Amino acid sequence: MEPLIEVRGLRFRYDDGTLALDGVDFQLFPGETVALFGRNGSGKTTFVHHLNGLLAGEGFVSVCGLRVERRNLLAIRRKIGLVFQDSDEQLFMPSVLEDVTFGPLNRGLDTTAAIETARHALRDVGLEALAGRAPYHLSAGEKKRVALAGILAMEPEILVLDEPTTFLDPPAQRDLAALLRRLPQAKLVVTHDARFARALARRAVFFEKGRIVADGPVGEIVERFQWVPGTTSGGEAGIQPAE
């Protein structure tokens, strides 16, 4: 089976000299959901920004059979949808409907088709009623779902979610996990939340100092790196409850 994403030997250094990626190899196959774990600054977000050409390092990156390079960028950005960690950065249009139509209009759809696509995407995330609202009047959970609708309206083959549970309360996290499980696209989920990752993915990779140091089932990765903030009934290491 051909991988949807193929990355070989990816290296990237920021202008200030920080080596953010130091030889990353990775593959994502159709239908797969993979969780990306790793400490803050380990290179996860830098890595996903290479997948749609927002950053360009040394090495080989291909998405849906297209090499990530300048002449393919528009086509690649239609195939891979990136949901940003901070929804405020993604929701820049004055109303929810206009924001969700931004991508379809860029794809060349006419206004009627773009609105239809946007309404469909808003229905998918359960927020069609908010189409006329201004993004700054939404809750964090609603903003995240609108951001996701904006990506779904691009009809991508791959979804990349950068820390999707940031700012979300537990019910909103639960709703988001249920929503993402219903979506058929292959997914890459950058997260610190082992429970959220377990709800979505079978496979996980672990980033450390700009390299993928482990790749395997989520449970094994979580256990190996003790990726649990709270204690569980299984007695895993973590933050102890207050006395």
Partner 1 sequence: MHHVVIESWSRGASLLHARDARVKVIVLLAFLIALATTPRLTPAACACYAALAIAGILLGRLPLGPLLLRAAIVLPFSATFAAFSLIVGDAPRAAGLLVKSYLSAAAVLVLVGTTPLAKLLRGLESLGAPRLLTLVVQFLYRYLFVISEQAQHMRLAALCRGSGPRPLHFRAAAGAIAVLFARSYQRAEGIHQAMLARGFAGHTQLLSSTRIGLRDLLFLVAGLSLVLALRASLGVLWNP
Q: Is 57 in the site for partner 1 (CB under 8 A)?
A: no
Question: What is each CA distance from 15 to 20, 49, 99, 146, in whole angstroms?
Answer: 11, 16, 32, 33
Q: Which residues contact 120 (CB under 8 A, 6 or more apart)?
A: 153
Sheet order of strands, 158-162 included: 80-83, 158-162, 186-190, 33-38, 203-208, 211-217
* DSSP 8-state secondary structure symbol assigned to residue 183: -
Q: What is the C-alpha radius of gyration for the chain, rounded to an integer number of angstroms?
A: 18
Smallest distance from partner 1 to CB 88, Å: 5
Q: Is 66 in the site for partner 1 (CB under 8 A)?
A: no
Q: Which residues contact 66 (CB under 8 A, 6 or more apart)?
A: 72, 75, 76, 79
77 or 221, CB closer to partner 1? 77
Q: Residue 82 pairs with which residues in a beta bridge?
A: 160
DSSP E strands: which ranges in the chain?
Answer: 5-13, 19-28, 33-38, 58-63, 66-67, 80-83, 158-162, 186-190, 203-208, 211-217
For partner 1, what does the binding mask look like between residues 143 and 172, x meaning CB under 8 A?
-------xx--x------------------
Smallest distance from partner 1 to CB 160, Å: 9
Smallest distance from partner 1 to CB 116, Å: 12
Site size toward partner 1 (CB under 8 A) is: 34
Q: Is 95 in the site for partner 1 (CB under 8 A)?
A: yes
Q: Is 54 in the site for partner 1 (CB under 8 A)?
A: yes
Using CB under 8 A, which residues numbered 101 to 120 contact partner 1? 101-103, 105-107, 111, 114-115
Smallest distance from partner 1 to CB 75, Å: 9
Smallest distance from partner 1 to CB 53, Å: 8
For residue 39, which of 190, 172, 174, 201 has the smallest C-alpha distance? 190
Using CB under 8 A, which residues numbered 175 to 194 contact partner 1? none
The one segment of 23-31, 46-54, 181-189, 201-209 that binds partner 1 by CB under 8 A: 46-54
Smallest distance from partner 1 to CB 220, Å: 32
Q: Is 77 in the site for partner 1 (CB under 8 A)?
A: yes
Q: Residue 239 pairs with which residues in a beta bridge?
A: 230
The one segment of 80-88, 170-178, 199-207, 212-220 that binds partner 1 by CB under 8 A: 80-88
Identity at 207, one-letter amino acid code? F
Show the tokens assigned to 107. Answer: 């794809």
Task: Note whether 53 and 77 are within 8 A (CB).
Answer: yes
Contact set with partner 1 (CB under 8 A): 49, 52, 54, 74, 77-78, 81-82, 84, 86, 88-90, 92-95, 97-98, 101-103, 105-107, 111, 114-115, 134-136, 150-151, 154
